[in-house]
Homo-oligomer: A and B are copies of this chain.
Amino acid sequence: MSSERLIYLPLGGAGEIGMNAYVYGYGKPNEERLIVIDLGVTFPDMDGSPGVDLILPDVSWLEERKDRIEAVFVTHAHEDHVGAISHTYSRLEAPIYARPFTANIARRKMSEYGYPDEAVTVMGSWPEQRDFGPFKVGFLPISHSIPESGALVIGTPAGRIVHTGDFKLDETPVVGEAFDPELWAEVCKDGVKVLVCDSTNVFSPNAGQSEITVGPEIEKMVLAATGMVVATTFASNVARVKTLAEAGERAGRSIVLLGRAMRRMLEASIETGVLKDFPKVISPDDAKALPREKVMLLVTGSQGERRAASAQLARGKYMGLTMKEGDTFLFSSKTIPGNEKGVIHIMNAFSEKGVDVVDDSSGHFHVSGHANRPDIQRMHDIVKPEILIPMHGEHRHLREHVKLGAEKDITGVLAVNGMMIDLTGDKPQVAEYIETGRTYLDGSVQIGALDGVVRDRIRMALNGHVIVTLIMDEDDEPLGDPWCEVMGLAETGTSNTALTEVLEADLSQFLGRANAKTLRDDAKLNEALRKIVRQTGQNEVGKKPEVTIVVSRLS
């Protein structure tokens, strides 16, 4: 017995916000039975991952041990927690467990890839618990910005773990279960060995606001508006969507839902009984027949996503609906770092149409879904763990969260992706460093982030691309001149001649002088030609391009 151990291993989400994937194990070293909490994605950008569709955690470590995986649990249906399940399912082949709403969304994702509903098992909430090898696991309801978020209470032979998932302490969340401090106190009263805790808002100094505070402010705004009102928020924030719709209804407006994600989330909420009453919704066509001041649209695209309803309205029309002078557009959302330019772009496009844009700079039209600093402290106080492991944060968040715990003398562990922590003894310690990383979903294939594919794309984008083709005859002599094609470079440079001509002239000159040995040796020839292209590029246009050389030998 003494040789068995309890381990914690984040594969994603610890040292970043996004792409959550946490592993717990119990058993003899290298024979532990494993459970996985969340398999999420993060989103690509032009800076680091151009052309990529989604970023997944690298699950190679798990795949190699897939016979030891008891289950995957999904805490809630946000993309950074559930988005990777369908992309990793064939590699891990592990059953997925979630509460009804989350399971509904998870099954929709799985079915897109042809997996049956049975891949996802619905679990009830606490006190329901099930055994998974050495683990006894139950979902403990917690409030967040999506219905039915669940913390996980994980019983192990080495003590109890509470894994919060994403949370806030909202006792009036509009939709879904309120945070229940008595229930939490009850669950934790017999002692919690480890609290693994959301760190997102550890730098926000004031206690978080309840979802219920947003409604009256939105209602005031909608009542004051004269033209059409269009509001956007995260589609998964069902409570907010309801609040917005009710504010519109009370202001005598008919509600239209635009955007696939918005409709899908509402559908799932109604199917699972999470959402009981929602204002009557009309179709875009019916809305067109009404006076503008009698209509309120709820649309996707709060982050400025180019293909979402809000961006399409900003560019022109969506489902036949347009915005114009005197209308109001409300961002009932915050802009996630990195999305600022896209959001600002939309704001300006609306401004050009004479649309009044209202964002959350006043702090009245949005509240965060994550616990702020005092709320995190309250969670520490309720759970009273022996050990605190901050998760769901960049390094700076995790570090600050450890410090926050230390104020109450809680032993903190700063564990980033790949750090396997042995939690068995009195003091947590690093057991091993696991190689972790990111996998790109790129078109229809998965590639490693370090495979070089994306690095080549970035280089072509920064430096342009020159293609040199050269035919060598049977005697290993150039047949005619080399030919250059250029992509992503200025047509003419400092010598005021076409860049391709200058390149071809410089390459021809070299070939005329090159000795037979060089001409016969592909590697040498390529290297020499590449060097000339880069040097000429530098001289002519001030850039050293990427170079592809194709030498065809007729021999």
Query: Quick check: is A542 within 8 A (CB to CB) of the other chain?
Result: yes
- Chain B min CB distance to A529 (Å): 14
Query: Quick check: is A445 within 8 A (CB to CB) of the other chain?
Result: yes
Tell me the chain A residues, 395-439 only, with Cβ under 8 Å from chain B: 395-396, 399
Q: A465-B487, A488-B456, A550-B467 are in contact. Are A337 and B348 (CB under 8 A)?
A: no
Residues on the B chain within 8 Å of A394, using CB: 344, 347-348, 351
A491 to B447 alpha-carbon distance, docked (Å): 9
Query: Quick check: is A191 within 8 A (CB to CB) of the other chain?
Result: no
Residues on the B chain within 8 Å of A491, using CB: 451, 453
A443 touches B541 (CB 8 A): yes
Query: Quick check: is A188 within 8 A (CB to CB) of the other chain?
Result: no
Query: Quick check: is A485 within 8 A (CB to CB) of the other chain?
Result: yes
10 extra A-B contacts, CB within 8 A, seeds A460-B461, A487-B548: A46-B461, A51-B461, A340-B340, A348-B394, A351-B395, A444-B541, A445-B492, A445-B493, A454-B488, A465-B465
Query: Quick check: is A47 within 8 A (CB to CB) of the other chain?
Result: yes
Residues on the B chain within 8 Å of A15, using CB: 348
Query: Quick check: is A546 within 8 A (CB to CB) of the other chain?
Result: yes
Query: Quick check: is A519 within 8 A (CB to CB) of the other chain?
Result: no
Q: Which one, B461, B462, B469, B542, contacts A444 given CB within 8 A? A: B542
B341 touches A443 (CB 8 A): no
Residues on the B chain within 8 Å of A454, using CB: 488
Query: Quick check: is A509 within 8 A (CB to CB) of the other chain?
Result: no
Tell me the chain A residues, 342-356 only, with Cβ under 8 Å from chain B: 344, 347-348, 350-352, 354
A443 touches B361 (CB 8 A): no
Main secondary structure of the interface of A (DSSP, over half): mixed
Q: Which one, B51, B456, B493, contacts A462 given CB within 8 A? A: B51
Q: Which one, B457, B463, B485, B538, contacts A51 given CB within 8 A? A: B463
| A-B residue pairs in contact (CB < 8 Å), sample of 22 | A46-B461, A50-B461, A51-B488, A51-B543, A337-B341, A347-B396, A351-B394, A351-B396, A352-B395, A444-B541, A444-B542, A445-B542, A447-B490, A453-B491, A454-B488, A457-B461, A457-B462, A460-B460, A460-B487, A465-B465, A483-B550, A485-B548
A351 to B202 alpha-carbon distance, docked (Å): 14
- Chain B min CB distance to A285 (Å): 31
Q: A50-B46, A51-B463, A351-B395 are in contact. Are A546 and B487 (CB under 8 A)?
A: yes
Query: Quick check: is A357 within 8 A (CB to CB) of the other chain?
Result: yes
Query: Quick check: is A471 within 8 A (CB to CB) of the other chain?
Result: yes
Query: Quick check: is A283 within 8 A (CB to CB) of the other chain?
Result: no
How many residues on the A side are at the interface (Cβ–Cβ under 8 A)?
65
- Chain B min CB distance to A201 (Å): 12
Residues on the B chain within 8 Å of A458, using CB: 46, 50, 461
Q: Residue on B with the closest CB to A204?
A: B361
A450 to B333 alpha-carbon distance, docked (Å): 34
Q: Residue on B with the closest CB to A16?
A: B348
B469 touches A552 (CB 8 A): yes
Query: Quick check: is A203 within 8 A (CB to CB) of the other chain?
Result: yes
Q: Which one, B337, B445, B543, contacts A490 given CB within 8 A? A: B445
Residues on the B chain within 8 Å of A490, using CB: 442-443, 445, 447, 451, 453
A442 to B463 alpha-carbon distance, docked (Å): 10
B445 touches A494 (CB 8 A): yes
A361 touches B548 (CB 8 A): no
Residues on the B chain within 8 Å of A47, using CB: 45-47, 341
Q: Residue on B with the closest CB to A337?
A: B340
- Chain B min CB distance to A480 (Å): 8
A454 to B491 alpha-carbon distance, docked (Å): 12
Query: Quick check: is A138 within 8 A (CB to CB) of the other chain?
Result: no
- Chain B min CB distance to A276 (Å): 39
Q: A396-B348, A396-B357, A444-B542 are in contact. Are A460 and B465 (CB under 8 A)?
A: yes
A508 to B222 alpha-carbon distance, docked (Å): 63
Residues on the B chain within 8 Å of A348, using CB: 15, 394-396
CB-CB contacts of A450-486 with B at 8 A, as 1s and 0s?
A: 0101101110111111010101000000011001010
Q: Residue on B with the closest CB to A544?
A: B443
A402 to B47 alpha-carbon distance, docked (Å): 36
A338 to B344 alpha-carbon distance, docked (Å): 10
Which residue, of A443, A538, A546, has the highest number of chain B Cβ atoms within 10 A? A443
Query: Quick check: is A525 within 8 A (CB to CB) of the other chain?
Result: no
Residues on the B chain within 8 Å of A350, using CB: 396
B542 touches A443 (CB 8 A): yes
B552 touches A471 (CB 8 A): yes
CB-CB contacts of A315-352 with B at 8 A, as 1s and 0s?
A: 00000000000000000000001101100100110111
Tell me the chain A residues, 44-59 only, with Cβ under 8 Å from chain B: 45-47, 50-51
- Chain B min CB distance to A438 (Å): 15
